[in-house]
A and B are shown apart, each in its own frame.
Chain A
């Protein structure tokens, strides 16, 4: 794959993963019962790789981010699985060990930059904080030099250090958060919707900065979000979450060209493009409540290709070529999802050409919005 402006690199292989997540489970204990927000999630991330984690609100993507940082608070709890960063097992660490590992091994860029920074403290003190705690041997002038250095790394002027958060724009605040996340040169950065509150141009600039730092420092990045467009442009591997489970994971180009889970397919086609004006394909229905999950496959209530087996049996993960894994019963059907989608497209085309009577337009499972 050619490198684009954000410098997406090829797939690293044959090396040891820098982040290895195995069967991670997170439970929340609520008055209404126990719910599993993250259900046996496993993936590997290699040095310099960019993994995207997509899903709708409530699919468990932020829970994973917090679990990777070991910041799940009661009533939530990591109830199983392992998180390894290099040779360090985060799940086996004591709280004190974890305190020193956090930000040093694994950094985080939070979602809401405006509420992540302390409004009454200057930027300098907020960056200084993380440096002093983790590297107490630094002298004052070394700390100051490092602050300037990280600010410059995120393309901010050194004078920004003496400003308060309210004096910065949204993009600048997000840059400060990135500076704090990379200050200790961690091996992995988790970016939880870092640009969801920013407009397109600033979003592009911030993502370019994250991309450049990732390349220069050879950090692995986990980008969490719900915008498939951003994912297509930035990450080289993509994991799709649905109701706490990993629906599909694989290289981004493969997932976009040939998704093997209907949810991935629908997420991609729900995005507006500059093609046909006024055609929106939303995903009908809402994510099921984690307290009342359907039997069998969790996606069957919204799936246009639902089969009998879906309600009785949960699908298992099926591996395809090139590290592409999907959990869908369609994988066992000849032709798979691609076959179904093509058959449906053909059927729609026939209907259109025959100018069939009213009402048949709704026969297509992907009901299009009434924008015409």
Chain B
């Protein structure tokens, strides 16, 4: 069976500066498969600069990989025909971080809904288009009569973000790439937006790639999780396993840094080791070595491969060395069991 979308050993390297280019490896030998047959929600978690947005852009075809290949329905993305590319644009939809920047302030919010309807010929006439827009808005918990015909500045951030979810839903996509969809809305509204994304997944069978730095929402929404650090996967697997029994020191640090809404739980038992810059993204060793409390000499020499801690969880750390090794490109085997 061919996967709907597949990244095979993808790397993305950015260079800046002309004479002595500064090389940043944004994504390092990354493989991921998204099946059409069994839709999942995959969370990609990491701090700023971990390459999670680069991953999103790769999946949406905004950028190409430096090495490696991206396949859409078994075909290399660079060889897609015009019609196939059009199909890809409909199948893969995006929800971005900033609900304020996603709108053109001169148009009413109807614009973001009518454009895709027109471009993809989803409705035969105006009434049908209106009906479809109304349905999509109701699905995300908005009342069309309160929304249509208004300008972006008249709506709250939460409402605007939900319209973007409605827009993505309108096209009946197969994959939604949600890049930090809730980081700019109030904590009390996050639940509602995540709920509409979740409904999308449940009712329409859409796979979701949920890119975030918030492990708590990732835990609640997703089935499987990938933890990125400086472009490399540190840990991956079934979400409850990874969040409740983190194996990699970086995952532990992330979980330890969550401010829990509970005064009895103490924040940050282990001190954060600052990055001294001794492990640049181009290192051959483990990228987390300079901040790792358990660092060993061999960590700085060669990066560890994955170790299958249990059938649904793999950690790229020598601390799990006793478990069977797993090739970098085989991470999806652990993920797909989740």
Contacts and interface: CB of A to CB of B under 8 A. Distances in A.
Q: In the complex, which of the residues B261, B265, B268 has the most CB atoms of chain A within 10 Å of its own CB atom? A: B261
B220 A201 contact: no
A229 B258 contact: yes
A200 interface: yes
B253 interface: yes
Contacts of A281: 191
B216 interface: yes
Nearest to A229: B259
A297 to B, nearest CB: 18
B272 interface: yes
A229 B260 contact: yes
A169 B217 CA distance: 25
Interface string B191-207: 11011001100000000
Contacts, number: 139
Given A200-B257, A273-B262, A56 B244 contact: no
Given A274-B216, A280-B195, A286 B158 contact: yes
A328 B48 CA distance: 42
Given A229-B261, A230-B259, A232-B262, A371 B47 contact: no
A49 to B, nearest CB: 16
B269 interface: yes
Interface stretch (A34-42, A97-105, A263-271, A354-362): A263-271
Interface stretch (B87-95, B123-131, B182-190): B182-190
A350 interface: no
Chain B interface extent, by class? 35 or more
Contacts of A293: none
B48 A170 contact: yes
Interface string B55-75: 000000000000000000000
Given A169-B48, A272-B217, A203 B191 contact: no
A312 to B, nearest CB: 27
Given A256-B262, A273-B262, A280 B187 contact: no
A148 interface: no
B319 interface: no
A240 B188 CA distance: 13
A57 B259 contact: no
Contacts of A200: 47, 213-215, 254, 257-259
Contact of A203 (B190, B257, B271): B257
B140 to A, nearest CB: 13
A167 to B, nearest CB: 12
B268 A204 contact: yes
Nearest to B193: A282
Contacts of A266: 188
Contact of A233 (B158, B188, B192, B260): B260
A330 interface: no
Nearest to B216: A272
A158 interface: no
A256 B263 contact: yes
A5 interface: yes
Contacts of B190: 280, 282
Contacts of B195: 280, 282, 369-371
A132 to B, nearest CB: 31
A203 B259 contact: yes
Interface in A299-321: none
Contacts of B266: 4-5, 233
Given A270-B188, A271-B187, A286-B156, A202 B259 contact: no
B263 A199 contact: no
A201 B216 CA distance: 14
A226 B188 CA distance: 8
Interface string A206-247: 001000000000000000001111111110000000000000
A253 B271 CA distance: 24
Contact of B189 (A204, A208, A279, A282): A282
A5 B267 contact: yes
A226 B260 contact: no
Nearest to A199: B213
A270 B191 contact: yes
B216 A273 contact: yes
A162 interface: no
Given A270-B187, A272-B220, A205 B272 contact: yes
Interface of A: 4-6, 56-58, 169-170, 198-205, 208, 226-234, 252-253, 256-257, 266-268, 270-274, 277-283, 286, 369-371
The 4 A-B residue pairs with the shortest CB-CB distance, nearest first, are A282-B191, A280-B191, A229-B259, A199-B213
